[in-house]
Amino acid sequence: MKNRKLLVLDIDGTLTNSKKEITPKTKAAIEKLQAAGHIVALASGRPTAGIRKIADLLELNTKGGYVLAFNGARIIDWKTGEIVFQQTLDHKYLPELHAGAVRHGLTIMTYQDEYAIAGTAANEYAEFEAKINGITIRPVENFAEYVDFSINKCLLSGDPADVKKCEDEFLVSMGEELSIFKSEDFFLEIMAKNIDKAASLDRLIQLIDIPQENVVCCGDGYNDISMIRFAGVGVAMANAKDVVKEAADVITGSNDEDGLVPIIEEYFS
């Protein structure tokens, strides 16, 4: 297809409504653009296990499409299952990350297949993360020693004020070495340096030969800002954070109002 475009969707608060569902209207609009030969990518802070059901519902496994999991630390060609890019988090940071979580009363987790490995007691935010991703929390005694497998990110969660203090502290101590940012006021994401949704999208479009101006990115959270700024057309949902709206070219309806539909109709018709 000559003028092929790429639609990049955040999941929570963007593709799914408040009930964590994709509405029939939104699904139909996505199916139409897929039938026209355009490509869909899901870009989320979620682990791969938490994206699988949604990617399959959109038939990325048969129609083709890409998943950018862990805020882009892993890119998967969903049709072939091939990991086309991956950046892991160096284990040497785990003791300091764990100590910071303890200091600020936060839950620290990483991911292993269908499990969230928790190095501190799981709070309500960690339980929420596990629920929306359909994964099980596995508490471990010594987090830094237990995690001897490759990981893409750590997630710290807790009261927003405590998360902010921890973020400020980590940015001073490790900000030059790691990607550290909030996806929600209660979630602090830790990944390898230069990992965010925009950096991974830049890799993906080179791989699939789509020009940057043909990329439409839609999101609502802090971790969507980089890809919204990167896109040819950056779209913020009506329910997005104010700073996300400021970064966008277009503001559409909310995730409870099928806000993606008019965007798809305008830019993929």
Locate the domains of the chain by residue range.
6-87+195-267, 91-192
pLDDT tens by residue, 48-63: 999 999 999 999 999 9
The residue count for the chain: 269
Q: What is the mean pLDDT of residues 102-123?
A: 98
What is residue 118's predicted lDDT score, i.e. its pLDDT?
Answer: 98
**Contact status, residue 68 vs residue 205, Cβ threshold 8 Å:** no
> Measured between alpha carbons, how far is 117 from 147 in angstroms, rounded to an integer?
8
What is residue 144's predicted lDDT score, i.e. its pLDDT?
Answer: 97
| Residue 96's pLDDT band (cuts 50, 70, 90) | very high
> Measured between alpha carbons, how far is 115 from 235 in angstroms, rounded to an integer?
32
The CATH classification number of 91-192 equals: 3.30.1240.10
CATH topology of domain 6-87+195-267: Rossmann fold (3.40.50)
What is residue 1's predicted lDDT score, i.e. its pLDDT?
Answer: 61
> Measured between alpha carbons, how far is 183 from 73 in angstroms, rounded to an integer?
14
Tokens 């209207």 map to which residue?
25
Tell me the average pLDDT of the chain.
97
Q: What percent of the chain has pLDDT over 90?
A: 99
